[in-house]
Structure 1
């Protein structure tokens, strides 16, 4: 009888672990202001995995690979690009459970013209631990 109770408890514990994995997530953030003195500026997430999203400061996502479409919010007088002429860039990332990735636009005009969005690139400027759950 004790073996049966022990096996049932172990099964319940393992099922609990599986469900915790099922609700695991990470966070992608674009709301934090990156250090402009390092040539980093805020971005806006417009699509996640090919689907348009409502603009938010952060998104809870399942762990794994995600494709993001970002628009830069560079506020630098050297840019000289009309808002309508600004372009989006794609960023593919690998998100781990309980991880937060802070996104930014790296602004660089060295040897580049603002044509076609070459004046910036999307970057992960910081990674940090962040408890996260997708449980309803």
Structure 2
């Protein structure tokens, strides 16, 4: 899928903002213990902080993405890992019990996986576009 430069830049900003705002809002600035307890390995406060840091990286790259094909490739891998982690979690856990404990945590666990899968596909499209462009310029 061919994406315009402006769509790619806006997508990267949206990706970064969703990582940062999603973590800060739904974790209530790292005070929502239900998120931590529900998946203590991936969603510890350290894990949540690293998700926000990835958001900062997405924002930092948004203006220079055209020269960073392999960095975009890393973004595909990062989003794939989080998407796969969520998929495994959702298949083996009861989301309704999370909602019963804390609605914000329930919403977080409802949306974080689809969000990561969406941006995995987005970054894959950007990576493919850059790879195609590089082959044409040889």
What TM-score bracket applies, with the shorter chain setting the length? under 0.3
Using the size of structure 1 for normalisation, the TM-score is 0.24
Q: Which has the higher helix share?
A: 2
Using the size of structure 2 for normalisation, the TM-score is 0.24
Q: Which has the higher strand share?
A: 1
Greater relative contact order (Cα 8 A, min sep 6): structure 1 or 2? 2
